[in-house]
Structure 1
Amino acid sequence: MSEITSRNRIHRHKDRGHYDDPTIYEILDQGKICHVGFTVEAQPFVIPMAYARHGNALYLHGAPNSRLLKQLGSGIPVCVTVTHLDGLVLARSTFHHSLNFRSVVAFGTARHVEDLAEKHQALITITEHLAPGRTRVARAATDEEAKATSVVRFEIEEASAKARSGPPIDSPKDMQLDVWAGVIPIAVEEHEPQPAPDLKPGISYA
């Protein structure tokens, strides 16, 4: 996956590009939502989806009648992106405002997961990615429920990562302006769990 090709080559700010598996996998593993892009009859679609990485592949799941999953499973070319916004970079000039971010763009094809054992494992992998430890306490999907769920495995053929960090880069002529400059950090945080209204007394989130 580290090979640079015409699909994954970064052209602008090449110094921010990364093609190594560890960097790409780390960004993917820290995300919860990806955007899946594909084209059907000359019409582009981009759909947000939950996902989980397993090796060099991503598992996606949904309803069996999902147009997205039906199309993905047919083997059409697919582009999957994941982005983390880490900060607003405010310069003294609006022209030099920017964002601190980490992102991955991955290209490949997908196939339907038909094997029931693999489908169960994929659902476990997705659940554990979204809520680590959850499968140790929650009921697992039954065979009937797994069969009623469409799962596709997206094989990453080529990918690249891109990231920016650090302070703003102002023009020398703007450095003396009496304007605040710096970074406003942004992070996704988990807050106090909110119990279901019908939760039995005495059960805590763990």
Structure 2
Amino acid sequence: MVHMGSTRRNDERTVAGCHRRMRRTDREVVDPGMVERIIRDCRIVDVAYADAEGMTIIPMNFGYVIRPDGLPTLYFHSASHGRKIDAIRAAGNALPVAVSMRTDCRPIEGRTPCGWGEAFRSVVATGTASIVEAMEERREGLRLLMAHQADMPDVTFTDQQVNSVTVWRIDLDHVTGKVHE
């Protein structure tokens, strides 16, 4: 469900510690089920974070689960060493991140070059990245990744396979969906 009513919130201002609401209310997705459908249809999530080297953003394949509180947890796998894993460890296994994902992107022709636009469905969120230590959660994270990316929900992993990668996750704490048709 896309939010209806007035189409603009032009009076919103940034307040420290608060999340500004979306300005285009006519494109805002407020239904958690619709947000989950957007996530389901996305294959790549861009993960942004800051570390000792500065800001960076990385595209990642992911799996996900909706937690009992209605918010998503995203699962990933990677090598045991590298910038993102180092950043999570340096942050005490609680790295603040921002994520963005989109699907159904296509241009919308305008009458003039500045009048063109883009149709899309997207999710933007913030959360905390952490390395998963428990073997069963690591195994489940890999299963969720294969279910989402390869439509293979029943893949099983040996302990050796699970131990050959680092499984990490992002617990999202603020999620915004947007649709422009």
Alignment of 1:1-206 (within 5 A): 6-7=18-19, 9-11=21-23, 13-41=24-52, 43-55=54-66, 56-72=72-88, 74-133=93-152, 135=154, 140-165=156-181
1:167-206 deviation per Cα after TM superposition (whole angstroms, max 9, x unaligned): xxxxxxxxxxxxxxxxxxxxxxxxxxxxxxxxxxxxxxxx
Q: Secondary structure at the match of 1:14?
A: coil
Aligned residues: 157
Change over 3 Å in CA distance of 1:67–1:26 after alignment to 2: same
Partner secondary structure for residue 114 of structure 2:
helix
C-alpha displacement of 1:71: 2.1
CA distance in 1, matches of 2:43, 2:20: 22
CA contact (8 A) 2:102 2:121 kept: yes
Does the CA-based 8 Å contact 2:50-2:56 persist in structure 1?
yes
Paired residues of 1:19 and 1:159 also in contact (CA < 8 A): no
Runs of 4+ in structure 1 deviating by more than 6 angstroms, as ranges, are: none
Q: Distance in 2 between matches of 1:89 and 1:149?
A: 42
Q: RMSD across aligned C-alpha pairs, in angstroms?
A: 1.9
Letter in 2 for 1:75: A
Opposite residue 152 of structure 2, the aligned amino acid is: G
Q: Structure 1 stretches of 5 or more lacking a match?
A: 166-206
- The 2-side partners of 1:49 and 1:102 are apart by 18
Q: Measured at CA, do residues 129 and 8 of structure 1 come closer, stay the same or move farther in structure 2, by a change above 3 Å? A: farther
Q: Give me the whole-angstrom Cα distance separating, in 2, the residues matched to 1:58 and 1:6.
A: 23
Which one has the largest radius of gyration?
Answer: 1
Larger deviation, residues 50-59 vs 71-80: 71-80
TM-score w.r.t. length of structure 2: 0.79
| TM-score, normalised relative to structure 1 | 0.70
Question: Per the alignment, in what secondary structure is the counterpart of residue 145 of structure 2?
Answer: helix
SS at match of 2:95: coil
In structure 2, how many angstroms separate the alpha carbons of the residues matched to 1:43 and 1:78?
A: 13
Alpha-carbon distance in 1 for matches of 2:34, 2:104: 16
Name the % identity.
25
CA distance in 2, matches of 1:90, 1:119: 45
